[in-house]
């Protein structure tokens, strides 16, 4: 007895071979097995490659987003204090004074400013080093972020190209505590090369105009700069904070006494000046009336 064929399956013949329509043909037997997926691509290979590409794209996108967020946070952490803004109002700066300006063979830091600051327990950052390395770029950026006062001294014996750019940058960003010292403005003409003199004069005039526009103090001697540092760093402290540092007690009392004397002189000058002008004004009025 022959087995019955379901009605959904029909017989088909092309004259030589006969097959059943509706029954899937068995897969062909490969003559040799591929050594790797690359040797014999299948239907699953393109899907695997597409899936891998999608995963790589997602990973790359996530990496870019993470890197951008990290760079943005670092940029804010570096630039906000320079702009006069602070991320953490309670954070205490690492340094009181950043000693910027002329480097090279200059000795105004090591011989004048630094010994003076040490006697008053005023912390500072000195970017002038005998040996320079790449890690100092990041170190100097952190010092600029964590300093209360920026002191830039321009010596006519050096070119000061980088210092000019830094000063203009800080002034344009309205740095609240920037002071610039021009040492020996008359010496710029004597020490500059004749071919370089016009550019130096033009640069100094431009920088001076920028500093005036942003009300940045411009001094002409380091002694004036040291007095300014005392006034800004020690004079701005409370009595308790100043007395807690032994090296700052006497300077603090001297600053307060100096301010009191100046305030008294100003008040007396204003008071006596107004009273002295009244008789003079009356005499002028009488003389004009007589004539």
Write down which residue in 208, 234, 260 finishes a domain.
234
User: For the chain, first and last CA: distance in Å?
Assistant: 157
Do 218 and 110 reside in the same domain of the chain? yes
pLDDT of residue 124: 96
Residue 222 sits in a domain of what CATH number? 3.40.50.10140
Write down which residue in 191, 213, 234 finishes a domain.
234
CA-atom Rg of the chain in angstroms? 40
CA–CA separation, 166 vs 147, rounded Å?
15
Domain-embedded: residue 220: yes
Domain-embedded: residue 180: yes
Max mean pLDDT among 17-31, 59-73, 86-100, 117-131 falls in: 117-131
Domain-embedded: residue 67: no
- Domain residues for 223? 95-234
Do 125 and 103 reside in the same domain of the chain? yes
Do 261 and 182 reside in the same domain of the chain? no
123 phi-psi bin (left φ>0, alpha ψ -120 to 50, beta other): beta
Do 199 and 271 reside in the same domain of the chain? no
Domain-embedded: residue 46: no
Count of domains forming the chain: 2
Tell me the average pLDDT across 227-244: 94
Domain-embedded: residue 157: yes
Do 230 and 130 reside in the same domain of the chain? yes
Do 152 and 270 reside in the same domain of the chain? no
- Per-residue pLDDT band for 26 (boundaries 50, 70, 90) equals low
Tell me the average pLDDT across 134-155: 89
Mind giving me the DSSP string for 180-235?
EEE--TTHHHHHS-TTTHHHHHHHHHHHHHHHHHTT--EES-HHHHHHHHIIIIIT
CA 139 to chain centre: 12
Do 139 and 218 reside in the same domain of the chain? yes
In sequence order, the 6+-apart residues with CB closer than 8 A to the CB of 164 are 154, 203, 207
CA–CA separation, 196 vs 203, rounded Å?
11
Domain-embedded: residue 64: no
Write down which residue in 234, 254, 273 finishes a domain.
234
Do 220 and 255 reside in the same domain of the chain? no
Q: Report, in this order, helix, strand and coil percent for the chain, each rounded to 5.
A: 55, 10, 35
pLDDT, the chain, mean: 74
Tell me the average pLDDT across 19-32: 53
Do 218 and 268 reside in the same domain of the chain? no
The strand pairing partners of 178, in sequence order, are 150
Provide the total of helices (H) and of strands (E) in the chain, helices listed first. 10, 7
pLDDT of residue 29: 55
Which SS3 state, helix, strand or coil, does residue 154 take?
A: strand
Do 156 and 105 reside in the same domain of the chain? yes
Do 118 and 218 reside in the same domain of the chain? yes
Domain-embedded: residue 141: yes
Domain-embedded: residue 279: yes
123 vs 25, which has greater pLDDT? 123
Do 111 and 195 reside in the same domain of the chain? yes
Check whether 95 has a pLDDT greater than 90. Answer: yes
Check whether 136 has a pLDDT greater than 80. Answer: yes
State if pTM tops 0.75.
no
Check whether 172 has a pLDDT greater than 60. Answer: yes
């Amino acid at each position: 007895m022959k087995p019955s064929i379901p009605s959904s399956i029909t017989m088909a013949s092309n004259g030589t071979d006969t097959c059943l329509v509706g029954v899937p043909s068995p897969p062909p037997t490969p003559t040799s097995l591929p050594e790797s997926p690359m040797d014999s691509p299948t239907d699953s290979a393109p899907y695997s490659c597409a899936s891998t590409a999608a995963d790589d794209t997602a990973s790359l996108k996530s990496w870019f987003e993470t890197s951008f967020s990290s760079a943005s946070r670092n940029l804010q952490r570096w630039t906000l204090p320079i702009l006069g803004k602070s991320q953490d109002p309670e954070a205490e700066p690492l340094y009181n004074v950043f000693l910027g300006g002329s480097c090279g063979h200059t000795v105004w830091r090591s011989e004048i400013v630094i010994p003076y600051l040490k006697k008053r327990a005023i912390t500072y950052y000195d970017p002038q080093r005998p040996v320079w390395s790449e890690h100092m770029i990041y170190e100097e950026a952190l010092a600029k972020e964590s300093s209360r006062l920026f002191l830039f001294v321009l010596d006519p014996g050096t070119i000061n190209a980088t210092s000019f750019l830094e000063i203009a940058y800080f002034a344009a960003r309205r740095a609240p505590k920037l002071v610039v010292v021009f040492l020996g403005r008359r010496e710029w003409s004597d020490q500059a090369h004749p071919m370089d003199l016009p550019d130096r004069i033009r640069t100094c005039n431009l920088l001076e105009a920028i500093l005036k526009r942003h009300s940045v103090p411009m001094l002409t001697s380091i002694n004036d700069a040291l007095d300014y540092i005392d006034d800004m760093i020690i004079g701005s402290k409370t009595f308790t904070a100043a007395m807690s540092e032994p090296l700052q007690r006497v300077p603090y009392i001297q600053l307060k006494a100096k301010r009191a004397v100046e305030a008294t002189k100003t008040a007396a000058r204003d008071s006596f000046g107004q009273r002295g002008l009244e008789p003079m004004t009356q005499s002028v009025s009488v003389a004009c009336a007589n004539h």
